[in-house]
Amino acid sequence: MLSPVVLYGFDARLRLDAEDPQWTQDRRERYLLRPDLPRVLSVDRLVWPAVPAALTTDGLAPDYFSDLGALRRRCDGAAAIIALAVSEHDERARALEIPCQPAEIDPAWRLLGWDVADSGLISGLSNCGFLPDTDVTALRRDYGPRLNEHGLFRERADAEAFRTLSDARVKEHAPFFVHRILLVEER
């Protein structure tokens, strides 16, 4: 049985259809399981940048807002407003949790996918490069088909399996957590 998923924050990112020139073909080959994707989304702001108005948060956490209303008021321009939730594996995940407003996931929010990232929100899925001894072909063969058009896992169970692999593959960032990314609205 999978553990509960807890909402821990909100952010405003570049729109889903916005191009990001930082994702060169070389960077895609070094970091992505699906280098063919035109746009990659993540909890990691180095992968999916925040809009300038959201770079300074409401103070409870450095990389996300705890209050959806405050974020909406701050970001009056074009942005994808997202909600972030973490899968509670054990007590380690509690470090990410802060009281949110609203406190619950709205069923109207659209699931964008599941990311795997450390407690600093560095994505093991799209921002931890492949070491020279990594069998990149095997990783892409085994996990690439499980990713959606955003470079995120479609299924939580696949993200959980990749989390376990990431804990062993990228020990300096372990432990990793499974993060659920939901689209609240696009402006």
**Residue 59, exposed/middle/buried by CB under 10 A (0-12, 13-18, 19+)?**
exposed
- State pLDDT tens for residues 65-114: 999 999 999 987 778 999 998 876 555 555 556 788 998 999 999 999 99
Do residues 15 and 79 touch, judged by C-beta distance below 8 A? yes
Task: Give just the sign of the alpha carbon dihedral 167, 171, 176, 181.
Answer: negative
Domain extents in the chain: 5-186
Q: For the whole model, what pTM was predicted?
A: 0.92
Kindly state the average pLDDT of the residues 122-144. Answer: 95
Q: Which of 30-34, 50-54, 93-97, 179-183 has the lowest mean pLDDT?
A: 93-97
Do residues 106 and 151 touch, judged by C-beta distance below 8 A? no
> Going along the chain, which residue ranges are E strands?
5-13, 80-87, 110-118, 176-186
Closest CA to 126 of 50, 29, 8, 18: 29
Per-residue burial over 117-141, b = 16 or more CB atoms within 10 Å of its CB, e = otherwise: bbeebbbbbbbbebeeeeeeeeebe
- State pLDDT tens for residues 23-45: 999 999 999 999 999 889 999 99
